[in-house]
Amino acid sequence: MKTRAVIFDWAGTTIDYGCFSPLGAFVHAFKEFGLTLSIAEAREPMGMLKIEHIRALFNMPTIKKQFLALYKREANENDIKALYESFEKSIFATLPDYTALLPFVSQSVRLLRDMGIKIGSTTGYTKAMMDTIIPLASANGYTPDCCIASDELGYGRPYPYMIYECARRLNVYPQECIVKIGDTAIDMQEGRNAGCKVIGVVLGSSTLGLSIEEVQTMPKDELENRKNQAKVKLYEAGAHLVIDDLSSLETALQIIETLQ
């Protein structure tokens, strides 16, 4: 195959079904500052470097309005840093609870190994966060060949540098030989900006935003409608292909091979 490496995202793609781990930490941190942040709002910038995620949240009209009403001024960099410190304390306390692998991850790893395709990963988490996550994911059966965290290079997503560094460490080129797989719009943008083929995954994704229990119990018509909405978002963000889950990875890679 032309494909020589697959670069996965983490939360919402390979671990943490529904990408719930960061959400509670964001909501809790904003609550500590007297600000009400909804789960839907917390999800919007998902996939970014976490402090950039917080900056994006502070730029939301609803948060700006709340902050101005409460503090009689606009938020500044000191506020962002203080809230990020609160977020870090909260997320480090809960990260170990969200490292279960998504369905078909183990099978996908075996498939890629058998095909001689290298496995890299990029993430919106920091290196310190990944130092907690990687050993636990490894114990569950997932160890990529390379992981680049969002704070290692000075720029997170949608910049392409994490993928470039993955390619360097894996010694894979050109970029057209790499497939990026993720669950958010910013994952798609990262892959496109790096010149990769890009696959979006819906079930378990932050874009869909449903727990596995919700997926299993939701009426079929409603679930299909929500999945289709998520697929549209990922395609609009630049996905070459969007799949339900990694059970169809082999077929997806065959389709990707045909794209120019």
| Catalytic annotation, pick one of 9, 16, 183, 187 | 9
Tell me if residue 127 is catalytic. no
Please write down the HEC assignment for all residues of 20-68.
Answer: CHHHHHHHHHHHHCCCCCCHHHHHCCCCCCHHHHHHHHHCCHHHHHHHH
- The rounded distance, in Å, linking the Cα atoms of 63 and 41 is 10
Tell me if residue 50 is catalytic. yes
Q: Is 141 helix (H, G, I), strand (E, B) or coil?
A: coil
- The rounded distance, in Å, linking the Cα atoms of 25 and 92 is 9
- Report which residue type is found at 234: L
Query: In terms of C-beta density within 10 A (0-12 exposed, 13-18 middle, 19 or more buried), how is residue 23 classed?
Result: buried
| Catalytic annotation, pick one of 16, 50, 227, 233 | 50
- In total, the chain counts a number of residues equal to 260
Q: With contact defined as beta carbons under 8 Å apart, do 147 and 121 qualify?
A: yes
By annotation, the residues acting in catalysis are: 9, 50
